[in-house]
Amino acid sequence: MTPTPPPFTARLQAELEQFRRDGVYKRLNYLDSPQGPRAHMEGRGEVLILSSNNYLGLCNAPEVVEAGKRALDRFGAGTASVRFICGTFTIHRELEQALARLVGCEASLTSVSCWNANEGLCAALLGDQDVVISDQLNHASIIDAIRLAKAITKCRTAVYKHSDMADLETQLAAHRDARLKLVFTDGVFSMEGDIARLPDIVAVARRHDAIVAVDDSHATGVLGPTGRGTAEHFGMLGEVDIITSTLGKALGGAAGGFTAGPAALADYLTQRSRPQLFSNALPPTVAGSALAAVQHLEAHPELVGRVRDNATYFRDQLAGMGFKPLPGETPIVPVILGETAKAIEMSDLMLAEGVFVTGFGYPVVAQGHARVRCQVSAAHTREDLDFALAAFKKVGRSLGLV
């Protein structure tokens, strides 16, 4: 006899059905080959990837993959406990030194994701006498890190309008009595592709005796002449108090994150960050591949120029067809369509043409601002980009968009 499902599963099924009706249900597409400019998708064959954060094309770079294998052979799968209890592999120290050097900080500390890095930072650094002020369009990991810190430490929180320096100034002035004032922003905003006004943010923060933290996940390896991130883009290396970022995008694409800043901060987080104290370190294979990705970037800064050139070409060609890509300098190229249903339909039709690009609507983005978000890589050839553009033209015409 088939067991009766517990009552809560009926509620979940009903909500899942509503997701489908609302057009926000997310399907998992399974790849059966390494991530790259093109990959083999189960049930689809070869597709062109226009939805990955593989900005430098390093996910399957031979030296990155081989470095992960060597680390696995040398160190095994892991330590089976947290770093201060059972020991820390030397490759973690080597990676952390390389990451600090890359982003222009004194020291860094790795974690299993940038989400963990953001959570560990806010809850460890902020107390009930402190305030954290966040950009309105910050990534969910920053938002949830702040929510968690508020619940744990009773810190104060505030939000300033996106890239609005007058509002940031107002929020800082309203919290002038706080012991620590932390301004937290993305370096590159993942849904818009725009860059934080870092020089202005730092200037406003300094006037109010505040410190600045930047989540550079979509800027590391992408911005600046040599890919060192938002600070390098603005000629401000060494002038940002705290940088968090990921290893799961441009730097190999596997997993992991880090927090960089003064040596005292890395040491303090080692003592007090709950994700550090209660979860395992990065697997050695991930640490090895990420270290090789950093070294590859340092040896091949021309990759940064290549991804920038590809993004400029792709954005200009889309605009020339009559689409409405948001302007910008990053490889994130959102094409605004307005309605959620239209964004999802376009994503489905593009996949039928052999191009994997994802549609986003409310609540991920604001009502009326649904889009397909294209993400361009240094590994894309001009032939790849032209293939995607031809698909955009065909699908756009069929939907009456161009």
Hey, which residues are catalytic here?
Answer: 190, 218, 249
Where do runs of H (alpha helix) occur along 56-164? Answer: 62-75, 83-86, 90-103, 114-125, 140-153
Amino acid sitting at position 195: I
CA–CA separation, 97 vs 101, rounded Å? 6
Q: Is 244 exposed, middle or buried (CB count within 10 Å of its CB: 0-12, 13-18, 19+)?
A: buried
Residue partners of 289: CB distance under 8 A and separation at least 6: 64, 65, 67, 68, 71, 252, 254
Name the β-bridge partners of 157: 132
269, two tokens? 């987080």
CA–CA separation, 145 vs 211, rounded Å? 17
Cβ atoms of residues 214 and 239 within 8 Å: no
Q: Is 299 exposed, middle or buried (CB count within 10 Å of its CB: 0-12, 13-18, 19+)?
A: exposed
Cβ atoms of residues 222 and 251 within 8 Å: no
Cα distances (Å, whole numbers) of residue 46 to 41, 49, 90, 95: 6, 9, 39, 34
Cβ atoms of residues 89 and 75 within 8 Å: yes
Residue partners of 265: CB distance under 8 A and separation at least 6: 107, 242, 259
Q: Tell how strand 242-246 and strand 181-186 pair up.
A: unpaired
Cα distances (Å, whole numbers) of residue 39 to 45, 253, 387: 8, 15, 14
Element of type H or E holding 49:
strand 45-49
